[in-house]
Amino acid sequence: MSFRNQVLEIFAQKNILKHGNFITKSGRRTSFFINMGEFNSGKTLSLLAKLYAEQIVRNYGASIQNIFGPSYKGISLAVSVSYELSRMTGKDVSFTFDRKEVKDHGERGMLVGYQYKGGERVVIVEDILTSGMSLRQSCALLRKLQIDLKGAVVGVDRGEPGQIMQSAKNEMEKEYSLPIHALFHIDELKNIS
């Protein structure tokens, strides 16, 4: 069975798509919630990371040097995807994630993990794409660092409008000239739950 089908089985088994009344991080009301935090064991996270890694190689090639994950849920994604991508390509792929606040002691700064020098080929991994708010923040941060931002892979595209009413995915791709790929679209997940 493919990694994709195994991950879809986990979505169904763990009831990751929940129905009810919720408010998203971007402040929108919604009738469903996707809890990617349910990928919380070595086995489930490894399967999800393999699917991200396959998507990265398929869409960006095997030359990606770093995986960036926005805090908090992007942290485990960045670590596990860099590991699986390293295994898949035979190259040492680093990971980086950001902090919610700048640390002024010990390992100072906003970033944890690999520290960018400039020119690195980077892909952002994100759990959910709703309005694009989190992805925008990551893009703004990374663009300042003069890296070669190749694109982003999100676990689920909710298919919701962005700031100007086209899909958030299309809006982000146009605004940042950045290809964004989703492992799943919400319509596919609604059919399994």
Q: What is the mean pLDDT of residues 157-176?
A: 84
pLDDT at residue 160, rounded to an integer: 82
Whether the ω angle into residue 116 lies within 30 degrees of 0, i.e. cis, is no
Catalytic residue among 105, 117, 169, 174: 105
Catalytic residue among 14, 18, 91, 103: 103
Please check whether residue 138 is in contact with residue 97, taking contact to mean a CB–CB distance below 8 angstroms.
Answer: no
Task: Give 1-14 pLDDT, tens digit per residue.
Answer: 898 999 999 999 99
User: Does residue 132 lie in a domain region?
Assistant: yes
Could you confirm whether 181 is annotated as catalytic?
no
User: Does residue 157 lie in a domain region?
Assistant: yes
pLDDT at residue 107, rounded to an integer: 61
147: CATH: 3.40.50.2020
pLDDT at residue 66, rounded to an integer: 99
User: Does residue 152 lie in a domain region?
Assistant: yes
108: confidence class by pLDDT, cuts 50, 70, 90: low
> Higher-confidence residue: 159 or 50?
50
The 8 Å CB, 24+ separation contacts for 32-36 are: 32/186, 32/190, 34/127, 34/128, 34/155, 34/156, 34/158, 34/186, 34/189, 36/73, 36/127, 36/128, 36/155, 36/156
165: confidence class by pLDDT, cuts 50, 70, 90: low
User: Does residue 107 lie in a domain region?
Assistant: yes
Model confidence at 106: pLDDT above 80:
no
Could you confirm whether 18 is annotated as catalytic?
no
User: Does residue 14 lie in a domain region?
Assistant: no
Q: What is the mean pLDDT of residues 135-144?
A: 93
Task: Give 111-137 pLDDT, tens digit per residue.
Answer: 999 999 999 999 999 999 988 889 999
Helix (H, G, I), strand (E, B) or coil at 129: strand
- Domain range for residue 160? 43-185
Rounded CA separation 89/50 (Å): 12
User: Does residue 101 lie in a domain region?
Assistant: yes
* Total of domains in the chain: 1
Q: What is the mean pLDDT of the chain?
A: 91
Rounded CA separation 70/160 (Å): 20
Over pLDDT 90: what percentage of the chain?
A: 70
Task: Give 39-91 pLDDT, tens digit per residue.
Answer: 999 999 999 999 999 999 999 999 999 999 999 889 999 999 999 999 999 99
User: Does residue 117 lie in a domain region?
Assistant: yes
pLDDT at residue 3, rounded to an integer: 84
User: Does residue 15 lie in a domain region?
Assistant: no
